């Protein structure tokens, strides 16, 4: 687990208007932070700079007390959970969860121990031999989160993970993500367009507009103003 501190973060693509323009934001250890704002306001760019998929033009990105501006994504120990879950269809649930550990050449018994532990937390124990095609949307999302858990990632980053789902499944997934995040207590940054997601999931909501922070507030302050 780790805090994420952004100090005067700027992202300039080419010579246009900065996509992210002097953003300073502290996300506490274990906090669930939501990023909202109109399309093009810089949400994805900010998320990608946290993960390291995008260079930072200026400012400091500090994760767990350590400046990470120059660290490659694999050295940041964060986990991005994508919209489509990015599961490997030909691999079992076990191998999907184990995948990042295999990449790091972890010994088999340690891989088995960690995957077993994660699948216990995620209630996937019965499904370890299945392929993703035979899982529900909710179970797939849990597999994706399992990957983050086995790596002992310090934070979860979500980029509109539910936007392709129908309303019913979206509701289930909201509950699922909320339950897991509370249980794991892991720092989370979550981009969404959806006010219900922002309200039910977020400890705080950061509203971006044209690359700047317009407001940071609790969901209640933001959405239940008289």
Q: Which of 45, 96, 139, 181 binds ligand ADP (CB under 6 A)?
A: 45
Reported as type and span, the H/E element at residue 146 is helix 137-150
From CA 78, how far away is CA 186, in angstroms rounded?
A: 11
From CA 94, how far away is CA 132, in angstroms rounded?
A: 10
> Residue 54 or residue 93: which is nearer to ligand ADP going by CB?
54
Q: Which of 13, 82, 88, 223 binds ligand ADP (CB under 6 A)?
A: 13
- Rounded least distance, CB 47 to ligand ADP, Å: 8
List the helix and strand counts (H, then E) for the chain. Answer: 7, 10
> Residue 41 or residue 122: which is nearer to ligand ADP going by CB?
41
> Residue 57 or residue 92: which is nearer to ligand ADP going by CB?
57
From CA 44, how far away is CA 36, in angstroms rounded?
A: 10
From CA 54, how far away is CA 47, in angstroms rounded?
A: 9
Binding track over 46-65 against ligand ADP, x by CB under 6 A: --------------------
- Rounded least distance, CB 167 to ligand ADP, Å: 20
b vs e for 151-162, b when ≥16 Cβ sit within 10 Å of the residue's Cβ? bebbbbbbbbbb
- Rounded least distance, CB 11 to ligand ADP, Å: 8
Number of chain residues interacting with ligand ADP (CB under 6 A): 10
Q: Does 139 bind ligand ADP (CB under 6 A)?
A: no
> Residue 122 or residue 159: which is nearer to ligand ADP going by CB?
159
From CA 58, how far away is CA 53, in angstroms rounded?
A: 15
> Residue 37 or residue 132: which is nearer to ligand ADP going by CB?
37
- Rounded least distance, CB 12 to ligand ADP, Å: 9
- Rounded least distance, CB 164 to ligand ADP, Å: 11
Q: Which two tokens stand for residue 51?
A: 């993960």
* CB-based contacts of 31, cutoff 8 Å, min separation 6: 3, 187, 188, 203, 204
Site for ligand ADP in 24-43 (CB under 6 A): 37, 39-43
From CA 204, how far away is CA 30, in angstroms rounded?
A: 12
Give the footprint of ligand ADP on this chain (CB under 6 A). 13, 19, 37, 39-45
């Amino acid at each position: 687990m780790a805090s994420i501190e952004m100090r005067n973060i700027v992202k300039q693509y080419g010579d246009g208007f900065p996509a992210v323009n002097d953003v300073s934001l502290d996300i506490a250890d274990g906090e669930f932070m939501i990023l909202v704002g109109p399309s093009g306001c810089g949400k994805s760019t900010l998320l990608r700079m946290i993960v390291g998929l995008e260079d930072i033009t200026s400012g400091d990105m500090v994760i767990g007390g350590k400046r990470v501006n120059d660290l490659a994504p694999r050295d940041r120990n964060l986990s991005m959970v994508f919209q489509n879950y990015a599961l490997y269809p030909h691999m079992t649930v076990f191998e999907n969860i184990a995948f990042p550990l295999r990449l790091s050449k972890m010994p088999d018994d340690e891989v088995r121990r960690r995957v077993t532990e994660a699948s216990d937390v995620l209630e996937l124990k019965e499904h370890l031999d299945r392929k993703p095609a035979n899982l529900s949307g909710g179970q797939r999302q849990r597999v994706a989160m399992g990957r983050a858990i086995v790596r002992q990632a310090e934070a979860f980053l979500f980029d509109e993970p539910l936007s392709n789902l129908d309303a019913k499944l979206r509701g289930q997934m909201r509950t699922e993500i909320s339950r897991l995040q509370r249980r794991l207590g892991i720092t989370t940054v979550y981009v969404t367009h959806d006010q219900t997601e922002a309200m039910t999931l977020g400890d705080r909501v950061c509203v971006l507009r044209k690359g700047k922070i317009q407001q940071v507030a609790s969901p209640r302050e933001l959405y239940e103003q008289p």
